[in-house]
């Protein structure tokens, strides 16, 4: 998993690429800190460059959501395709995150 963070007004966006798996779980705290430290009120995770998510990858998303909630920020997921979209839908993540196309 790799990510690039950009800020635009009140929205901070992380463009994540590669796979989000068990191997990446250690990255979650750093990514959460990077997304929540500024003054942005909305977080967007652009997952269009992600081609595989396993259960621990979904766990990373949950950890990010908790960190954001603690700061009063909302989290949206965008750009999912293929198996990533399937996995997120099967796990009803649309009830926790807003899905943007």
Partner 1 sequence: MPTVRVLVVDDEDFNRQTLRYCLEPIGFEIDEAGDGVEAWALLSKRGDRYDAILLDRRMPGMDGMTVLAKIKEDPALKDIPVIMQTAMDREEEIIDGIEAGVHYYLTKPYDIDVLVSVVRAATDDYARLRRVHTELAKRSGAIRLLVQGRFELRTPQEADALGVMLASGLPRSAAVAMGLSELLINAIEHGNLELDYASKTDLTAAGQWDKIIGERLELTPYRGRVVIMDVRRDAQKAVFTITDEGKGFDWRAYMDLTKERAFDTHGRGIAMARKLAFASLEYQGRGNIVVATVALSEGGLAAQSGQDPAPTAGHSSQAEEGDETDKAPEPVIAVAGSVPAAVESRLRSVEGWTVIGGGEVMPGGDDDVLVISSDDANGPAGLRLSRRGAGAKGETIPLSGDPNLVEAVARALVLPETLEIGGDAEARLGAALACHQQGLAPDPSTLVTPVGSVSAWTSSCSRVSGDTWGARCLDDGRLSIFIADMTGHGPVAGVNTLRLHALLNDPATDPDEAPDAVLRRLDKALKAVLPSGEYAAMLYGIVDPVAGRFDYAAAGVPHPVVMDAAGRIVAAGSGKGLPVGASGVFPYEKRELHLVPGGGLVMFTDGLFSLVDRGHPGADAFERFTVAMEAMVGGGTAAERLAALVSAFDGPCADDVTAVCLSLAD
Per CB under 8 A, does 92 bind partner 1? yes
Task: Select the residue interacting with partner 1 from 2, 4, 18, 22 (CB under 8 A).
Answer: 22
Alpha carbon distance 11, 19 (integer Å): 24
Per CB under 8 A, does 14 bind partner 1? no
| Contacts with 5 (C-beta within 8 Å, 6 or more apart), sequence order | 12, 13, 14, 15, 34, 35
Binding site for partner 1 (CB under 8 A): 22, 25, 28, 54-56, 58-60, 62-63, 66, 82-83, 86-87, 89-93, 95-96
């Amino acid at each position: 998993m790799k990510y690039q963070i950009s800020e635009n007004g009140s929205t901070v966006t992380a463009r994540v690429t590669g796979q989000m798996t068990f191997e990446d779980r250690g990255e979650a705290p750093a990514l959460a800190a990077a997304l929540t430290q500024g003054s942005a009120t909305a977080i967007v995770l652009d997952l269009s460059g992600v081609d595989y998510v396993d259960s621990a990858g979904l766990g990373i998303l949950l950890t990010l959501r908790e960190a954001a909630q603690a700061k009063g920020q909302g989290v949206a997921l965008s750009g999912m395709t293929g198996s990533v979209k399937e996995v997120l839908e099967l796990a009803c993540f649309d009830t926790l995150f807003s899905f943007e196309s």
